[in-house]
Every structure is written in structure tokens, then in C-alpha cells.
Structure 1
């Protein structure tokens, strides 16, 4: 079965270049009507904003698209972005939260302004756009939302505390929304991409750039946004044709009971941090039930 998006409407943020552009082109090539969002103004050598150029690409290939220059970091503009999709095309089925930028500093040199600026676009911007789309998707009992995290947020990276905090926050947002969206047919998943884009070109050598084609990442977005995907709450790491699932895990741990002291934790540190037999949980409630089961089992065996 070929994945198609005929009669579906997608909003892709930060789609004037890089990964967002690839996402927009991939969805449009499979039949989706696209709202191409990018806050960036025209660049040297062209008087038109980058979102307009991507719209031209899509139309030249026979697709349907309109451009939008809203800043997702502004709640009102994020709302207007979604409303443009609804007024222009009658609905919104897909939201790809991709917009972002870097302001790397070591933490010793980071200012509150540096921190807030990055969090406002990556985390708050994704939340504002999702808030604006949520009601429409709930009313039509269908929606596909993709958030964009990073291996910096999942595993950490030197000099990116602002970016990593925002990207880790998006995983928490997904974990909550997957609980709320399921009964309304809204699936929320997260992408952890690596690709050769204007944002990463300074840190990639030529061989890496050649291997890390953004189109290979866009394939994962197309799948997550499709009707074939029926799962919510997944994190996909993808780069250069490599795709893996990432999950937060809990070690089996130990039960110290009333003997839980700082000293006892220290003495059992290796066992506590042994992830052999680790497991994930579908929700905070599932972990709580697991702990209660461990406590009850310990009482029965006492």
C-alpha cells in the first residue's frame, strides 16, 4: 500500500529550508495540501521569503500549497497559522512542529535571553501550534502531530543547555498528549533527526553532509503522519537512512522498604543502576501500579 495524503491538510513549521522544507515537499508529493510556515525573511540573492520559494517548488511539481510567515513563538500568530489552514483548505489533519534555531553557549556564558529565545521557539512554539490545532483535530476525530526533539535533548550535548532543555521538554509534552489524544484519534509522535541543513552545516564535514540527506528524515515524518501509523508516543531517531526507536527506561531496581536510607542507596548503587531487564511504561500511572505491585509482592513474601 502506497502512503498517500490526498484530501489531507498539513501545516509544517520552519519549512522554508532544511528539514522543514523536506517534510513539506515529501507530504505534498504524496498529495497533501500544505501550509508552508517560516518566520524568516528574504535571504541575500532573492527578494522573496523562503516559505514562498518552497510553495513555488510544490506548485511546480503539481502540488497545492500556501505560505505563512507567522512566528510560532507568538500564541496569536500560531493560532493564525492554523486558522489559515482551516480557512484555506477547510481542515487541518497534520501538524509537523519543526521550527527552531540554535544559540549555542556554554552554560557559564548563557544568558536568560539566550535560554528563553530558544525555548520560546522550540518548546513553546510547538505547544502553541498544537493548542491551536487540537480542537479542530478533536472535532474531526483525526489528527497526526509530529514534534521534533534532538539527540541533544535525549542524551545531552556540550554547549546546548538551552536547546537540550527545550528538546527534552517536547518529549514530556508528547508523553502527556498521547494520553489525551488517543480517544479523539489524535496521534502524537516525536522525531529525533540528524541531517545536513543550514542549521547544522557548520558542524558537519562534507562526507557527513553527503550521507545525511534531509529527504531520508522526511520519510519518517511521512510515515508518522499517515493513516498506516496507529501508534502514539513514539520517539524515532533517524539520520542517513538509519531509523531506531528511543524509549525512556526504568531499571528493575531494588526494594529496600523501611531500610531505605542514604547509606543503603549508596551501598546498592550498582544494583539500582543495573539496566539488565529494564522496561518502559506507557504512563505515569503504569509506573505507579508497578511500584505498588512490587510493594504488595514484598508483603506477601515477608
Structure 2
């Protein structure tokens, strides 16, 4: 891409993540799905957990259902077990990612596999197109060594979960919203331009240190909502910074949701509750 073709994204707004809790009392910071930003098509929710106090996370997330969307769990530090109604079970460890397409329905639980130490990670909810809401569920479980690490230049280190950049392709595939998901670590003053497809909704969430995003200072636990363009310039703050760059193609479809069900009409939403209550919720998983 030549300089003439580059359309750098600016920052539309910067939001401080809201302190909240979910599951059985797990302490979280929520930046999408909050009163400040209900959703950003196709993103429905972005939660961050970062604590070394076991009381904040030990109770985990007991069994709960999902239908009509995708959940992305990215573990920065720690170990989280998962188990579900279609027979999947395992442990997500530092650097790993689980991309779960809930589709027609799944019931699962997430339980910390540690009793002390730092637990740090994210969960992102992404809407499914109306035509895909009732597809069979599937998992993409990616271990840390399978996530490409890219040392672009001195002081710039990337972990590419989804998307294509700098000659690498992330391991996540077959997602209808064509997502970009990259973990960016920058030393103080180090700078990088991250490509993002034009037209995609895009955000940057700073979770360690601080950063300058498209010329705007963004502190820890703040979300920068990006304007349109095909790239965003990131620079490490005074003490360096670490951040997620996330983008995906908007669906421009009606969203009718309540709790763990995200559908396209009130009728479909009521059907989800009826199916769940009457044992018609879970289909087989696609291997």
C-alpha cells in the first residue's frame, strides 16, 4: 500500500471502561455493552479482567446459555477451564484463544484453574448474521504457540489472532465478519501503523501502560473508538503500552437481545427462551 492509498483512522471517542461484575461475582471492566457504548456493530460486549486477587475471580462463570452470536476469550495471563453441553472441555492458558460460535445454542461454564496469582484476559461478543444465527455451534481452540508473533521493529511486538498483516495470517478462520484481532506491545515511543480493512468497525483497548492512538493520549483501561480508514497509528506512551486492536465488518441488521440470547426479532428471542426452558436448545457441535 502506497502512502497515497493510506487513509489513517482518527479517534472518534475515548471511553473509560466501567467497573462491573458477572458470573458468580467476577470483577470485570466493561467497555462495550455499557451505558456509554451499548454496542458497536457487530460488537456486542468487550470485558476485561485483570487482577491478582483471587477473590475477584475464583467463583468463575457457572453454567449459562448462548445463542445467536460468537464469544471470543483471549487469555493474557492465567488459566481458565471451560466445559459445555456439547462435550467440549479443556483449559485456556496464557496466550491462548477460544473462538466459540454459539449459533443455535450452547450451555457452558468457565472456571479458573488457579487459586492465586494474576488472571488477565478478555471476552468479546460478536454478533452473527441473521442467516447464521441457527447454525450448529463450533469451536476454534488456539494454543499460545499457534498464535503468530511478529517483531515488526525494535520495541514493537504483535500477536496476531485474526486477520492478515506483515506477511502473517492469524489462525482464526471462517468468521463471517472478517475480523482483525491483534495484541500489540509497544516500548515507550515505539510506533506502528496497523492495517484495518476500510469500512470495518474498529477499536483499540489499552490494558497495560498507556498509548498515543492516532495522536490522542489513551490511558490504561480505556477504549478508543476509531473513525473509518484503512490503518491506525499506535505509539507507546511514557512507560510503553499494551493494547488490543479489534475490528470487524458491521452487519447493519436488526438486533433483538436479552442477556445471553442475541436474535434478529422479538419472535426469535422468545423462541430462544422457550427452547431453553423446554430442552430443545442444544444441537450437536461441528468438529
Q: Same fold judged by TM-score > 0.5?
A: no
Identify the structure with the greater strand proportion. Answer: 2
TM-score of the pair, normalised by structure 1: 0.26
Identify the structure with the greater helix proportion. Answer: 1
Larger Cα-atom Rg: 1
**Higher normalized contact order (CA 8 Å, seq sep 6+, divided by chain length):** 2
